[in-house]
Chains A and B, each alone.
Chain A
Amino acid sequence: MASSSAPKYNSNYLDSSPGKRTLKDGTNWEQNEEIPRLPGETRVTDKDVIYMCPFNGPVKGRVYITNYRLYLRSVENDPVVILNVPLGVISRIEKMGGASSRGENSYGLDITCKDMRNLRFALKQEGHSRRDIFEVLTKYAFPQSHNLLFFAFANEEKFSENGWMVYNPMSEYRRQGLPNERWRVTFINEHYGLCDTYPSLLVVPYNATDDDLKKVAAFRSRNRIPVLSWIHPETQAVIMRCSQPLVGMSGKRNKDDERYLDIIREANGQISKLTIYDARPNVNAVANKATGGGYESEDAYPNAELFFLDIHNIHVMRESLKKLKDIVYPNVEESHWLSSLESTHWLEHIKLVLTGAIQVADKVSSGRSSVVVHCSDGWDRTAQLTSLAMLMLDSYYRTVEGFEVLVQKEWISFGHKFASRIGHGDKNHADADRSPIFLQFIDCVWQMSKQFPTAFEFNEQFLITILDHLYSCRFGTFLYNSEFLREKEKVTEKTLSLWSLINSEKSKYTNPFYTKELNRALYPVASMRHLELWVNYYIRWNPRIRQQPNPVEQRYMELLALRDDYMRRLEELQITNNSKISNSSASSASPSQMMSHVQTHF
C-alpha cells in the first residue's frame, strides 16, 4: 500500500513549496527553516503563543505573521503541530479576556475564518502582549479597510502556465459555433456603457439591434439584459441569462423587452413557448415588485411560460452555512448527526439548486426549447443555474480547462460579486452582502462528481483548491465584483491567475478515473437519498474525521504503476529473448500484441 504520512494537524493545501528564505530576516526566522514563504511574501512579526487546539488542547508554539499568512509551529509537540493560514481566510479577529481575566489561557485572540474553522491563541497577560499582534493581523487580514493592496499584487510567484490565457470569450463562443446566422457578437458593452457588471463581449439574437438592447436594458434590473450563455449544438436551443424585469407594483410593461424575448424564442425556430426560469420562490418574486422588480407576467409575455425554482436568497444560504459550521466545528454533532444535518437545510438548498439546473438542462436538451434564467440581479442563483446546466450538457466543462472557462465566464465575467460575497480584505464581517453562493455551486459540482466518478477530468483536490483560493487573496482571479473593476485595477497585469498554479501542476488535480466522452448529458439524481455532506471539505480540520486519501483512487494509481512496471519488464524480456532465439517469432510478440489473445465479451 502506498502509505500516507502521519497526519499533522494542519492541512496545508495551499502551499506545496517552501519559499525562499533570506538571511537578512530576524533570528527567529532563521531557526525555522521550514517556514514556507512565497516570492513577494515578507515577514511582519512573530510571537510566542499558545494555540488552543480544539482537538488536542493547548499547544505551545510560535506564530509568524507575514503579509500573506499566519504560520504557527509548535515548539514541544511531536509530531509538530503546524497551522498555515492565509490571512485572506480571516473573517473576524476578536480579543478575548482582559488584562485582569483569570484562569489559564483566558487572554488572547479569537479568529473566525471563512473556511469553516476558528482559531484561538492565548498570550501572556502581562504587558499588553497581544496589542501589536492584533494590530498587525487586523491590518494585513483586512487590507481593504486599511488602504493596502491585496497580497495578490505583491505576489512574485512564477508559473510555467499563464492562467490569464485560459479564458478568451471570443474563442469560447467560437467553440460553441457562435456567432452564426441567428446569433451575433456585440461590442455594445465594450466600455461597460450598457451594463457595468456584464462582460464587454455579449452574444445576442441576430435580429436584435444594439438600439433594441439599450431599450431592453432600461427594463432589466441593473441593465442586465438577456444574453446568451450556451447554445445546444444540435437543437440550437439556448440558455439565456439576465436579471428580473422592472415590473414594479404597477405592473409596468415594456414592448421592447417583450419583443426581445420573442426574438429569442424565434431564434431557434421554435414554435412552442419560451421557458423562463425564475430561480426565486414565487413569494420572493412577488415581494420584489415592491422594490421595482418582479417577473414576466403571462399577459405581457403570452409566448413564454414561467416557472419558479424556489431557490432561496443569499441571506438564507448564509444562515444555513452558519448552522452547518455549528454542527461540524470544532466537534461533529454525533448524537443526532442526520437530523442535525437536516436542520441546517444545507443539503436541501443544494438539492433545490441542482433540481433547478436539471430542469434547465432538460428543457434545452430533451425539450429542445430555449430558456431564460434569472433571479433578482442575475448574478447569484442565475450563475449557479446556468453554469450547472452547462456542466450537465457540455462535457467540455467537465475538463480542467473547460471548468476554468466555465467559472471564468459564468461567474467572474458575468459579475458574480465575489468581493462582496466573500468580503475580500474587508473587516466588516457582519456585512449582509456576504454569502456562500460560489461555495454552494462548487458543492453542487462535487455532488455531481460523486455520482459520476468517471465523468470529470478534475478531482476533489481541484475543487478544494479553488475554494481555498477563493479566500486566500494570493491570486487575482476572484478579486473585485466585475470585469469593469478588474480592468480598472489592472488585475491581469498586476496579479497572477489561480489557473496558473493549477495548470502548472495539472496532474495533481486530475481524476484518474476520468473517461473522456463527448456529448452525453449527465443528470445527477437530486435526491436526499444521494446527496451527501462534503466531509472532506467541511470537516477537514477535524483530524478524527478527515478521511484518508480516496482508497479506490489510491489503488488505481498503484495498478497504473504496476502496469507500467510489467510492460517495461516484458519489453526487457522480449529483447533478451529475441537476442537468444532470434528465429522464434511466436514468443516475440510485443505486449500490445499479446493482449490480442485476450478474448473479450464486449
Chain B
Amino acid sequence: MAVAHHQAREPTALPTRPVHRDGAWLLLPSSFPEDHIASEPRIKKLEPVLLPGEIVVNEVNFVRKCIATDTSQYDLWGKLVCTNFKISFITDDPMPLQKFHYKNLLLGEHDVPLTCIEQIVTVNDTKRKQKVLGPNQKLKFNPTELIIYCKDFRIVRFRFDEAGPESAKKVCLAIAHYSQPTDLQLLFAFEYVGEIYHHPAKKVNGIDPGGGGGGGGSASGQQTPLFETYSDWDREIKRTGASEWRVCSVNEGYMISTCLPEYFVVPSSLADQDLKLYSYSFIGRRMPLWSWNHPNGSALVRMANIKDVLQQRRIDQRICNAITRSHPLRSDVYKSDLDKCLPNIQEIQAAHIKLKQLCVNEPFEETEEKWLSSLENTHWLEYIRSFLKHSAELVYMMECKHVSVILQEEEGRDLSCLTASLIQIMLDPYFRTIVGFQSLIQKEWVMAGYQFLDRCNHLKRSDKESPLFLMFLDCVWQLLEQYPAAFEFSEVYLTILYDSARISLFGTFLFNCPHQRVKESTEFAISKNIQLGDEKGLRFPCVWDWSLQFTSRDRLLFHNPLYIGKSAPCVHNGAVKSFKRSKKNYSSTLRGVPPALKNGIISEQEFLPRRNSLILKLKPDFLQQTESQSNSMEQYFRDWFAKPVDLHGVILPRISGTQIKLWKLCYFRWVPEAQINHGGFITAFHKVSLLADEVDTLNRNLRQHKSNSSVQGNCSELDQSRMYFRARHLNDTSEAPDFLSSSFPFSPVGNLCRRSILGTPLSKFLSGAKIWLSTETLANED
C-alpha cells in the first residue's frame, strides 16, 4: 500500500544533478549505483504538472532541496518552478527516509500552494545577508538559499549553490510576487475557472469542477447542502422542526445586504417589509439569522449589533418578541454578547503566532525545558477552552432552560460562526457526520459571511488575519478526542480540511461573503469574455468535492472507524441493537415541557415576555445573575457527566486544564523530532479499522444471506469498505504497517530543514524579529 504511493523511479534520470561539476558527486546518496553516475547524463525533461490555467512563471535548474538539518547527504537535486498556483520542486530523486506519502492529486510531493506561503527568506551565505522578501521588492544580492515558511508550520529550504545566480534570484522574486497578490482576481482560482469556462472539456481528475457540494467522503455519496438556495434552508427548517420559522428572500440579488446570503431564515411573524426596515439599523444591514432549532423549540439565532441607538431598544424588542413567538412555549430569549465573553480576533491571532513560534522553534531542545509554561503563555488552549465553555453554557440554556439563544456580536460574522457551529455540534448528531459537518460550515461560515479572504489573509496585505477557522477545527478536535465514537470523520479529515483552506482553487474558502464571489467573478467574466448566462457569477470548484484532491481510497482516511452511525448496530448489555435517531434519544427534553420552571431562576412571571418588558436590560449577565442560576447550570453539567453518554444526543466538552490538549497531529506533523515512529494513536486506529472492517464484511454477508441476492452482487458489495486499513482475513492480528507514525499520513521528512544560518541557529534569527515571520526585513541590505 505504501508502495502504491511510491512511484517507481528510474535511477537513470539524472539531469538535474550537476554531475559535471566538481564536488557534486559527493552529494549523491551513497546507495546510488555508480555506473549510472558515470554514464552520460540523459536529459529527461522535468516538467511540472500543470492544472488548467496554470502557467510557469519562472524556473531554475540545479536546485538542492535540503532534507536533513545536520547533513546534506539526503538532499535532492531538481528544478524549482514557480507557477501562478504553486511552487513546485521537480526531481527524479526518490525521497529518502520517507516511508509513506499521502498524495494530494493537485500537488506534487514537494509542492507548496502559493496561498500556503507565509514568508519568504532569501539568504546569501558569503555576503552574510538575509532578507525577507515582500512583493515588488528588489534583491541586491544573489541568493544562495531560499527558505519558505508555510502557513501550515512547514519550513522548506532550497540551496542554489550550483544554480545560475540570476535565475535563482528571479525565481525568488517571482515567488515573492505571486504569493502575495494584491487583487483577489489574481488568485489562481479565477484563472482556473476562466479556463474551464472557455474550455469546458478540461476537467481536473475527470470531475467537473463546477459541481456543487460533492459527496465528500460520505459513503452514501450524499450531497452537501450549500445553503445557496431557498430549498436548502427550507429543508433545514423541516429537519429541525422549526415550524414557526420561514425562509426569507428579501436579499435575493443581494438587494439588502452584500454580506448576507441571498436566503436566510427568520421568525414567521416578521414580515419582509419590517425586516427591510429594521435592516438599516444593523451593522452591515445584517439582520438576525436563524441557525438551528432545538427539538424543544428553542432557536439559535445570530445577530449583529444595532448601530442605531435611538431605534435600538425598539428593534431589539421587536426581534426578541418575534423570536419568542416562534417558540412553541413562548419561551424567553437569552442574549449572549460574544464580544464581551470571548477572546477577540486579534487575541486569537496573537495566540496563533505564539503557538506557531513555539511549535516550529528551533532547536527543539531549547523549547523543551519551558514547554508547558510556554504553551500556556500562547493562550491558545485557554481560548479553545473559553469557546467550548461558553458554547456549553449556551447549550445548557437551550437544552435545559428551553430558551432561544441570540448570539450577538458586532458584525456577527466571526465569533458567532465559531460559537454557533460548536453549539450545533454539541446538540445535533447530524453535524457530527461528514455531510452534516460540511453543511454546517456552509451554513455558519461560508453563507453567514465569515471573511475567509481576510482572515486567511490570501492577499497578504490584511491586518485582519485571524485563524478563527483553525480554532474551530481545533475545538471540534477536542470534542472528537473526548468522544471518539461520536463523529463520522477522523482527525485526518479535520487536518486536511484545514490544509484545504490554503489551496486557492476552491471557492469555498476564497471570499469574504457569497456576494463577493458573484461580484468579483462577474467582473472577471466580463473582462475575459465569458458568457455567464443565467448564472450568478462563476462557479468555483467546491472543497467538498474531495475527489479533486484525493483518490477514493485515500479519502477513506477521513472515516473514523470508531464512529457509531445512527443506524449502526451496537452491542448493549450483550444484545445487538440498532441505533435509530428518535426524538427520544436525540434529546432528553421533549416538546411540551411545561413552561414553569419553578426551580429555575427565572420566575414564571419573568419568564413570560411581558408587554413593554425590556428583555435586553434583563439579560446581559443572565448566566451570572444569581448564584442559584449558576448552581443550577453546574448541577446540570455535573448530572450530565455523571450519566453515560448518549452519542446520539448532546455531547458536552470536558474543559478542565487537564482535559484540553494540544492537537498534535496538526501542529507537530512536520517536526521530525516529535514524530513517534511505529507509534501514536494511529496504531490503535489501525487496529480498530481492521476489526470494524471485519464487522462490516460479516454484516454484509449476513444481509446477503438473508436477502438471498445473487452471488455476483455479493462480490461487488463485498468490495466496498469504508476502512482505509482492511482486514485480510478473520481475526487479522497482523502487525501495523511499518510506515505508521504519530505524523501519519503526513511525513515530516524533508518538509523541515532548519540548519543554522551563518552560524546562528535559526531560532535566534527568528527571535530577532518581533513576531514570528514579521514582514520586516530581518537583516537589511546595505
Residues of A near any B CB (own CB < 8 A): 1-4, 6-7, 332-334, 336-339, 341-342, 347-348, 351, 451-455, 513, 515-517, 520, 522-525, 527-530, 533, 535, 539, 544-545, 547-548, 551-552, 554-556, 558-563, 565-567, 569-570, 573-574, 577, 586-587, 591-592, 594-602
Contacts and interface: CB of A to CB of B under 8 A. Distances in A.
B231 to A, nearest CB: 35
Given A562-B569, A597-B715, A570 B698 contact: yes
B341 interface: no
A2 B484 contact: no
Nearest to A4: B644
B388 to A, nearest CB: 14
A560 B701 CA distance: 17
Nearest to B698: A566
B593 interface: no
B678 A544 contact: no
Contact of A570 (B376, B381, B701): B701
B270 interface: no
Given A342-B370, A342-B371, A598-B727, 15 more contacts: A1-B644, A1-B646, A348-B369, A452-B683, A529-B368, A529-B664, A530-B664, A535-B658, A544-B656, A545-B656, A551-B485, A561-B571, A563-B695, A566-B702, A598-B728
A342 B371 CA distance: 8
Contacts of A523: 677
A556 B715 CA distance: 27
Contacts of A4: 644
B562 A453 contact: no
Given A454-B684, A563-B698, A566-B699, A1 B564 contact: yes
Contacts of B309: none
B485 to A, nearest CB: 5
6 contacts: A535-B659, A552-B562, A560-B691, A570-B698, A600-B727, A601-B1
Nearest to A512: B687
A520 B678 contact: yes
B691 A525 contact: no
Interface string B376-389: 11000100000000
B642 A3 contact: no
B686 to A, nearest CB: 8
A76 to B, nearest CB: 18
A592 B730 contact: yes
B674 interface: yes
A180 B573 CA distance: 54
B733 interface: yes
B729 interface: yes
Contacts of A548: 645
Top 5 closest A-B pairs, CB basis? A337-B657, A528-B371, A566-B698, A338-B376, A342-B372
Interface in B561-577: 562, 564, 569-574, 576
A375 B728 CA distance: 49
A339 B702 contact: no
B326 interface: no
B675 interface: yes
A413 to B, nearest CB: 30
Contacts of B570: 1, 558, 562
Nearest to B662: A529
B705 interface: yes
A291 to B, nearest CB: 30
A91 to B, nearest CB: 24
Given A529-B674, A591-B701, A602-B1, A545 B736 contact: no
Interface in B627-644: 638, 641-644
Contacts of A533: 658
Nearest to A328: B658
Contacts of A336: 376
A565 B695 CA distance: 10
Given A520-B678, A555-B562, A562-B695, A332 B702 contact: no
B644 A3 contact: yes
Contacts of A338: 372-373, 375-376, 381, 657
Nearest to B637: A544
Interface in B707-766: 708, 711, 714-715, 718-719, 721, 726-730, 733-737, 742
A394 B61 CA distance: 49
B688 A6 contact: no
A525 B664 CA distance: 13
Contacts of A529: 368, 371, 662, 664, 668, 671, 674
Nearest to B681: A453
A74 B691 CA distance: 44
B680 interface: yes
Contacts of B372: 338-339, 341-342, 347, 528
A430 B258 CA distance: 72
Interface in B539-562: 553, 562
A547 B481 CA distance: 12
A538 to B, nearest CB: 9
Contact of B683 (A453, A561, A577): A453
B483 interface: yes
B572 A597 contact: no
Nearest to B1: A601
B714 A597 contact: yes
Interface in B323-380: 364, 368-373, 375-377
A592 B729 contact: yes
B679 interface: yes
Given A338-B372, A454-B684, A522 B574 contact: no
B692 interface: yes
Contacts of B483: 551
Contacts of B247: none
B574 A561 contact: yes
From B646, B658, B714, residue with most partner A Cβ within 10 Å: B658
Nearest to B726: A600
A573 B699 CA distance: 13
Nearest to B556: A601
Nearest to A520: B678
A164 B733 CA distance: 31
A600 B683 CA distance: 18
A333 B659 CA distance: 13
A527 B674 contact: yes
Contact of B698 (A339, A528, A591, A596): A591
Given A527-B673, A555-B688, A563-B691, A454 B736 contact: yes
Given A529-B674, A555-B562, A6 B642 contact: yes
B683 A454 contact: yes
B701 A594 contact: yes
A527 B644 contact: no
Contacts of A547: 659
Contacts of A586: 711
A451 B705 contact: no
Nearest to B376: A338
A573 B676 contact: no
A134 to B, nearest CB: 34
Nearest to A538: B658
Contact of A530 (B375, B676, B715, B736): B676
B360 to A, nearest CB: 12
A552 B684 contact: yes
A563 B694 contact: yes
B658 A555 contact: no
B659 to A, nearest CB: 7
B43 interface: no
A560 B576 CA distance: 12
A555 B485 contact: yes
Given A4-B644, A544-B656, A559 B736 contact: no
Contacts of B695: 559, 562-563, 566
Given A451-B679, A529-B674, A574-B705, A545 B659 contact: yes
B4 interface: yes
Contacts of B659: 535, 545, 547
A334 B657 contact: yes
Given A341-B372, A535-B658, A552-B484, A6 B643 contact: yes
